[in-house]
Structure 1
Amino acid sequence: MEEEAGDIVLHGEAEIMVKTLRHIPLNKIGSKEWKRQHEYLNKLNQQAQLNVHAQVSDYISEAFAVTHEIKTLVKDLLAAELWREKVVPIMIKTKDFAPKSTIPFYLSMYNEAVILNLLETISFNAEVIETIGDLAVDLVDYCYRTLSLLYAQHQNGVKHDKPDGDQTPRDIYNNFITSMFLEYGPKCITILRYLSEAGKGIPLDAHTRIIRKLNVPQLLVALMEDGCGWIESDRFYISGKWHKKTDPLSPHETGILLLLRQLLTCEDFSSYEFHQQNISALMRVQKYLTPTVLQFCSPLNDLNTVLSQLQVSPPDQAKSYSLLIESEPELRDEMIQEFKDAYPSLAKSAMTSWAKPSFEQTQRDAKELVKMWQIDRLEQLMNEVPKCEVCGAESENRCSSCKTVWYCRRQCQIEHWAEHKKICDMLKQR
């Protein structure tokens, strides 16, 4: 592929960046090394998205296939998950933690989203998945935990409409959990599908864990039948916004059913426990496979055929099944064991150092963010007209200084200037 001048990460740079990736443990989050790696991951993620959008050769996934560094992504993903679960709650409950800038605090959580999004994108490449080895089991469990948590939140009535305001660390956290975290669900579905499609490219126990031990088919039926936070009857949540459903299936419903199709048609499904509860759950999927749906997504005809066969001739209840040697997801447990008594000290250290930046550091952070995000290039991925920062109307003009904020008319820009001027100078100094 020819390198384009506008690319965020050129072909040659990608492999160098990927080769420099190293697992950053929990106690190094926020460090200079962590910040540099977050920048690399963010740029790699953006370029991978641009490559998909432009339908060109994805040299980002090729770099991961060569270096086997998907293992580093999985390790850092689990560390980011523990940070969100164990350390951040301590920080937001500390009354005197009121930093002038919450950018570093937000990025410490956002790093998980970057890694998960990058994993979803590069996992399409079977050669990348084949390098994951035993860590496939850890990635399977991360996806299952995340989907189960989001399902439980939905059943408990957790609202996922974006809250107003995000001034304090607690506001930032609540905003993150009710908006950004919601997008993890569809990504985990996609990753599980790519892992399932890998066949012998990943360890057998990863497949049996998905199908038998965790009973992912049962969870998928629950997500379709009882609902999940990112899907509603007439709309679906993606890229931070709700979109109206115009097709027989939303993209997320399609993803769930395609994963179920993959699981029910793979060779490893013979290990599934065909007891009455599981069979009854699978049969309830048939009501979604209408002629219109099957015409809209033809691969689902395979799922419909399998379910029809199960209905006519249910298999005998599975006999006891076990592998001689079965891998367990040990990596998260190892991290918990290593840091189980250190969460308060990690939170305290962060709140007195990098998570409470000075004005000068805030300026540097703002400049680095602008460079990192390459806003002009990322606008290629936008499928909608920019909205005015003040009134929300469609806009064609933006601030001539920082070029990051949009306005529909001069009056809106004047009204917003008192607030915008605080960061405009920082943003324009690239």
Structure 2
Amino acid sequence: MAAGAVLFPVEADGYTQSLQEFPLKDIGSARWFRQHEYIEKLNMQAIINATANQDEFVKETIYSHGKVSTLIHELIAVEVWKQKVFPVLCQLQDFTPKSTFPIYIVINSEKALKTLATKSVNWVAMGKLVRSGIRLRTLQMVEKLFILVDSEEENSRLVVFWNTEIHHEATIINLLETIFYHKDVCDSADDTVLDLADYCHRKLTLLAARSDGCEKEELNRSSPASLEELQKQSQELEFDISLKALSILRYITDHIDSLPLSVQTRLLNTHNVPCVLVHLMEYSPWSRHNSKGELQKYADGKWHTIPIEDRLKITKLDGQVWIALYNLVLKPNCQQRYDFNNFNKNQLLKLRSFLTEVVIDQLPNLVELQRFLGHLAMTDPPPPKKDLILEQVPDIWDRIIRENSNKWKAIAKHQVKTAFNLSEQDLREQAHRLSETYNLDVMEKLIPDRPKCAFCGAEATKRCSRCQVERYCQRDCQVKHWSKHKKACDLMAVAAKKN
């Protein structure tokens, strides 16, 4: 296996063949959890291959086994679970879970988080933050290793908890973002590309609704620390997912001529995506000003302060919006089917103020869009063609809702008994599998920046031999930092010994 690799090609093939669609009631089950691990490893290997310009065997196995549709189904199933089942789950009186692994992997509902925080579980959280911002198609992987101590028990039962900030939904959309760059993968989605297009539209609508860029709201300091952490993660995660949906939407527009005709109809007429993109360009939610008045832009999973000389440079996210608009407005088939009525026309003409010489110098193809808008301002295009056709409609969301309608409480009760009340041994096995999935040695190879010393911040070359988590540049720094690190180190060492 190549250095830093996660999977052999034969392992990726086996993992891909085993992917399946799970019913809603099985989300959080042992089999579902195992599939999450498989998808996470496939995602990591796909990123490594694409970043290093290696043979993208993960993409090839997903394409050859026809599993793109399965990934899209699982993506939407988790979205439905979060909206329909989890709020009901939190309201159940007997919901006092021994294991929150499945919750942290799929959760992203702020309202539900507040309800969950009222449950009588007292946690002491400490750990090591590992950031892995990968400069490929706006992917971010952020993990936290938590040592959680349930202080309600006399012997303070120890639970090792790996909090995956890139949860199941984000893992799948990361993988789809990486492989949808390729036309053959996009085409292989068949009719489910309609469901993915609708999913992307829902996420872009949430992104467009952000009224004040991406600045984090001030958290309620009277809330428990764990609730603040969950709310912060929820906001960051939803933002990341929405940006990845933007990238996938751009790839769909790249290949729109070879996709079912209904994809054009959904994007142009049903959802009016060009106007949504104009709104995103106008308000740019990936740009903000910090408390010091400095301009910051979001890229590669974090906010960057932009020096004055670079403020006119367009970001990758700006580029995704421009390219998607270029495809939807200028491709001949799209032009014939889009309704350039007065409202749509006025919205598109707002783009003229953004098409400056500096922007066109960076994306020369936009000169064609500039010319079209100039022509649009002087004329009224003909009405769209209204051919009599049989239009396909998305099926996955409606089918899941239809199959589980009026069963949300029953599903929640079933999951309370099965997914969230595992034995002590099962919890430890679950934690051990996750620690293997997120192997620190592999993750460090994906991090563009070298690890930093926990004491002085210099480049770290050594690791605490006891817990294998904290990093230091020299022994003196480790000795000076020991008083702060000792408690966390003791907990992690005990957990490792018991496992």
**TM over 0.5, shorter chain:** yes
Give CA deviations for 1:41-69 in whole Å, capped at 9, x if unaligned.
Answer: 00000001111211222111111221111
C-alpha displacement at 1:139, in angstroms?
0.6
Show CA shifts across 1:285-312 (max 9, x none).
Answer: 1222211122223333333233233224
Question: Quick one: which of 142, 153, 157 aligns to 2:199?
Answer: 142
2:486 pairs, out of 410, 417, 427, with: 417
1:346 pairs with 2:411: yes
One-letter code aligned to 2:13? E
Instruction: Find the aligned partners of 1:29 and 1:79 in 2 and give their Cα distance.
Output: 9
SS where residue 160 of structure 1 aligns? coil
| In 2, Cα distance between equivalents of 1:242 and 1:216 | 26
**Structure 1 segment 5-404 matched on structure 2, within 5 A:** 6-93=4-91, 97-99=95-97, 102-109=100-107, 110-152=167-209, 154-155=210-211, 160=216, 168=226, 173-228=230-285, 230-232=286-288, 234-238=295-299, 240-245=301-306, 246=310, 248-269=313-334, 270-316=336-382, 318-319=383-384, 321=386, 323-387=388-452, 393-394=457-458, 396=460, 397-404=462-469
> Which amino acid is 2:85 matched to?
V
Q: Which has the larger radius of gyration?
A: 2
3-state DSSP class of the match of 1:194? Answer: helix
Distance 1:64 1:144 in 2: 24
Q: Distance in 2 between matches of 1:383 and 1:188?
A: 24
Q: 1:251–1:275: structure 2 CA closer, same or farther, 3 Å change rule?
A: same
**8 Å contact kept, 2:194–2:263:** yes
- Which amino acid in 2 is paired with 1:330? D
C-alpha change, 1:41 and 1:173, in structure 2 (3 Å) is same
Deviation digits for residues 101-137 of structure 1 (CA, Å, limit 9, x no counterpart): 5333212341111111101111011111111111111
- Report the number of matched residues: 423
Give the conservation status (yes or no) of the 8 Å contact 1:387–1:406: yes
Against the structure 1 CA distance between its residues 90 and 63, is the aligned structure 2 distance closer, same or farther, given a 3 Å change threshold?
Answer: same
Name whichever of 81-90 and 65-74 sits farther off. 81-90
* CA shift for structure 1 position 214: 0.7
| Paired residues of 1:159 and 1:178 also in contact (CA < 8 A) | no
Q: Mean alpha-carbon deviation: is it higher for 119-128 or for 369-378?
A: 369-378
- Classify 1:156/1:252 alpha carbon distance in 2 versus 1 (closer, same or farther; 3 Å): closer
Instruction: Classify the secondary structure of the residue corresponding to 1:404.
Output: coil
Bigger fraction of residues in helix: 1
Normalised TM-score (structure 1): 0.89
Going from structure 1 to structure 2, the CA distance change for 1:364 and 1:86 (only over 3 Å counts) comes to same
- Mark the CA change 1:34 to 1:166 in structure 2 (over 3 Å): closer, same or farther: farther
RMSD: 2.8
Q: Write the distance in 2 (CA, Å) between the matches of 1:179 and 1:195.
A: 25
- Supply the AA of the counterpart residue of 1:244: T
CA 1:413–1:218 in structure 2 vs 1: closer, same or farther (change >3 Å)?
A: farther
Unaligned residue ranges in structure 1 (runs of 5+): none
Q: Which amino acid aligns with 1:313?
A: T
Deviation for aligned residue 1:345: 2.6
Contact in 2 for aligned 1:231/1:252 (Cα 8 Å): no
CA displacement 1:50-107 (0-9 Å, x = unmatched): 1121122211111122111100001001101011212222344557645465333212
Deviating more after overlay: 256-265 vs 110-119: 256-265
Query: d(CA) in 2 for partners of 1:314 and 1:403?
Result: 67
CA distance 1:119–1:96, shift in 2 (3 Å): same
For residues 412 and 55 of structure 2, the distance between their equivalents in structure 1, rounded to whole angstroms, comes to 42
In structure 2, do the counterparts of structure 1 residues 79 and 134 end up closer, same or farther at CA, with 3 Å as the change threshold? Answer: same
Q: Deviations over 1:314-344 (max 9, x none)?
A: 413x246255110111210110111122222
How far apart are the structure 2 equivalents of 1:372 and 1:383? 20
Contact 2:213–2:284 under 8 Å retained in 1 = no
In structure 2, give the amino acid aligned to 1:412: H
Letter of the structure 1 residue corresponding to residue 440 of structure 2: I
Judge conservation of contact 1:205–1:323 (CA < 8 Å) in 2.
no
Pair 1:48–1:157, CA change in 2 (3 A) = closer
Q: Structure 1 counterpart of 2:444, which letter?
A: E
Q: 1:32 to 1:186 in 2, by over 3 A?
A: same
Residue identity matched to 1:39: E
1:180 Cα offset (Å): 1.0
CA-CA distance at 1:419 after TM superposition:
3.0
Structure-2-length-normalised TM-score: 0.77
CA drift of 1:219 comes to 0.3
